[in-house]
Structure 1
């Protein structure tokens, strides 16, 4: 039995958040390059004016001899090995202190060619209007009106841009040539904003050779205002903070979470020099699909499931077993926190992820 401990740090800022026009909400680390289905790769945070088109272009590396107006993952060392992908964009508006999240594009925007764009339909940001009551503004629920409660310039605090890549049948990945690391660099540009996203992915064949992979992605914003945290106050209304994925062609595993590295305790706290805030941790498994479960002290953990895959080469084929677990981590605080008077400060926490293989 092998045990691996991973630490995830989360920093919360209990003061208003003023972000740039466009920034990354998480770092896109090297991940499994799934050649068969769509996969989530990252998230952007937008604040600014509405009706703002954002153009996405492919800035390389380009596959050898292929058209430059498409999106690709290209092999790091062999440019003649590549996979064409499509980009799927989902926009979510986050209200001010109410904490509500709404999908802004019911039909996700699919970007097929370099230079395609999507549009931010409405403004977002913490800006206040100068004379509430005399001019129209938005309240915390995004309702337009006049009065002391209608003091926001925009209906949303910020907008998240969630990105997924979908592989197409257009590729040059045959036999063992799929092994290795693939890259894709994307440039986002709009009115007074520009950003480059660098993506990397490992092919499935490389994963078979390496045995197993485990990844954690932090999806909560690096800093979070207190008035948004206190709205996440129940098991069914959590703040999504992380996504985990485990894959192994050798061993199954059980994943658990703890508040310290030496035990299976569940005393989760956001702490500053002067104070602390207790919170609860929830894990919802997507694969295998299970209901969300609160992490308790001495929890038995979350085991992997198995998937049978057929591996085919030029000379033979075989069925191999993959052990899989993926899911989302969320947190919530006590409802009584809304009535507390905590001092403004930086509060941070660490969540220990413990993987036990078997």
Structure 2
């Protein structure tokens, strides 16, 4: 299959009332049930290895681990003291070297990830007090492993003259009124269960679902299945990034009636005097990644009737009305120790679209292996031996450009009381890009200025991808991640929505056969906001995903400079509620993404 893009969609929402009747078992029978708490049964990252990843660290350790990402939840029990056994009820991984538990790929049992379980036993008194009676962790490493539950739990009562427990779990003989009425010291007992993924794995396949079914059984034969599922998204990698840091600069409010002095590029090129104090200071463009060359292009309105091939603030409705400018750039870096280095020492000029600036040094937090050349926190180069500090791949944690626009004397038919606009894209060799949406004004315009924001949608799956990647993905939580959405703005909040057509009026998403448009099958779209963290939601025509506001730190001036930022990041996922068996071929689909600014 192949995806051409990503879209937004709306859909009718139906309210459904589900009535469930539960027939309670007699109080004297034991019971096992699952309580999620802050855990989960699905969505485990099988590409992750927990730290530490060996059982000996956890066994007998008093440190609780339910805060880890592998927390499954609680297994709650009522009944007499018992011993629980943990067994693997499928699927069975093949080619393993240990008798352990495994997430196994649904379509290939030789693809797996090993894990074990950390268990903590607790109980709730009849008074409501919760007791961590085990006080330390136990470990279940292999199928057939057991956990002893030394205390019973339940509401069953004793007869007068029999030994029982009061609400605080104290033992005594019940006389009909003294409170020693309960057969067990606890109302219920439970196990906090957390899976710990080891470094052992085999042939993990990106974008694939993995499964592990574990059955927990009491001595009475009462059992509870835990149907666990995970996903492997692929190996971690460090990609290059570009971001905007305002500092004392701005993206809006430039006076297009001003001509800077001097206004000739040669007056700045190769000069040592810094220019960030000028009124045309835009801010910093911050980069992480390997050494690169950055290209500046005009992606905004095209001014007409210009004499020079430079950059222009252009009137929103009259492209013949414009003001010319060029950019002065100064490249710098900050070491891992926090020292700022003006390594370029002089200014460079970006006068024309497609002019470039070379960043000769890489930046980021990526580390090298022992025996490889790296850098210490001061940017000094050396061979890393695992201890000597030469662990960083790049000499800087960030490199950046101070960017200042210089307005020349060239202009055409400036209109008083108007807004002007210029869009400049800065692109690294890796393809990573950042768009600077600049707004200027002449005179005192009435009304809201143009919305200034950055919005991007990135495809995150191979093109085309096999139909098998959608196997078993029948719910939003099991959806296949196909795209990542990012929105950021220093000035503008917005609503994001998705649709299946360019008009934004359909939420019926279809994969269509490239050779025969009449052959298609339907899929569904879901959006998971990750920043801020919000619940996974099915995309519908009515659904809007609002941006949030947060305080962000300047990467260079951390922690002393902060900004209020409008932002939204999230993942687009697709799933198939119904099994489909389409004809062979290549299928394509487009998802449309819409941004509605909120003024």
The structure-2 alpha-carbon separation of the partners of 1:20 and 1:42, relative to structure 1 and needing over 3 Å to count, comes to farther
Instruction: Give the whole-Å Cα distance in 2 for the aligned partners of 1:302 and 1:20.
Output: 51
- 8 Å CA contact 2:94–2:110 kept in 1: the answer is yes
Larger of the two Rg values belongs to structure? 2
Q: Distance in 2 between matches of 1:169 and 1:251?
A: 32
Change (3 A) 1:110 1:76: same
- Map 1:17-56; keep pairs closer than 5 Å: 18=27, 21-26=30-35, 29-36=41-48, 37=50, 38-50=69-81, 52-56=82-86
Counterparts of 1:90 and 1:158, CA distance in 2? 14
- CA distance in 1 between counterparts of 2:70 and 2:550 reads 19
Alignment equivalent of 1:114, drawn from 135, 143, 159: 143
2:396 aligned with 1:161, yes or no? no
Question: CA RMSD for the aligned pairs?
Answer: 4.8
2:220 matched to 1:192? Answer: yes
Alignment of 1:292-303 (within 5 A): none
CA deviation digits over 1:60-81, x for unaligned, max 9? 2122222472100000101121
CA distance in 1, matches of 2:16, 2:232: 26
Does the CA contact (< 8 Å) of 2:532 and 2:569 recur in 1? no
Q: Tell me the distance in 2 between the aligned counterparts of 1:92 and 1:184.
A: 25
SS of 2:485's equivalent in the other structure is coil
Q: State how far apart, in whole Å, the 1-side matches of 2:569 and 2:201 are.
A: 24
Q: 2:94 aligns with which of 53, 64, 74?
A: 64
Q: Which has the higher strand share?
A: 1
Corresponding residue of 1:180? 208
User: Which of the numbers 108, 132, 141 marks the counterpart of 1:103?
Assistant: 132
How far apart are the structure 1 equivalents of 2:163 and 2:532?
49
For 1:8 and 1:172, locate their aligned partners in 2 and report how far apart those are by CA, in whole Å.
44
Q: How does 1:251-262 map to 2 (within 5 A)?
A: 251=486
Residue 75 of structure 1 corresponds to which residue in structure 2?
105
Residue 155 (structure 2) pairs with residue 126 (structure 1): yes
- 8 Å contact kept, 2:41–2:226: no
CA offset at residue 249 of structure 1? Answer: 4.0
TM-score, normalised with respect to structure 1: 0.52
Matched residues in 1 for 2:18 and 2:28: separation? 20
More RCO (CA 8 Å, sep 6+): 1
Contact map agreement 2:47 2:234 (CA 8 A) in 1? no
Q: Normalized against structure 2, the TM-score is what?
A: 0.33
User: What is the number of equivalent residue pairs in this alignment?
Assistant: 236
Structure 1 counterpart of 2:167: 140
Q: Which residue, out of 216, 226, 250, partners 2:485?
A: 250
Please list every run of 5 or more consecutive structure 2 residues that lacks an aligned counterpart in the other structure: 1-7, 51-68, 236-458, 462-468, 470-474, 478-482, 488-493, 496-530, 534-545, 552-567, 572-594
The residue number in structure 2 matching 1:227 is none
Contact 2:28-2:79 within 8 A present in 1 as well:
no
CA distance in 2: counterparts of 1:91 and 1:46, whole angstroms: 11
* Aligned twin of 1:344: none
User: How much does 1:135 deviate?
Assistant: 3.5
User: CA offsets, 1:280-338, max 9 Å, x none?
Assistant: xxxxxxx989xxxxxxxxxxx996999xxxxxxxxxxxxxx9759xxxxxxxxxxxxxx
Q: In 2 relative to 1, CA 8–41 (structure 1 residues): closer, same or farther, beyond 3 Å?
A: farther
TM superposition shift of 1:160: 1.8
Moved over 4 A (4+): 1-13, 26-29, 206-210, 251-254, 301-306, 321-324
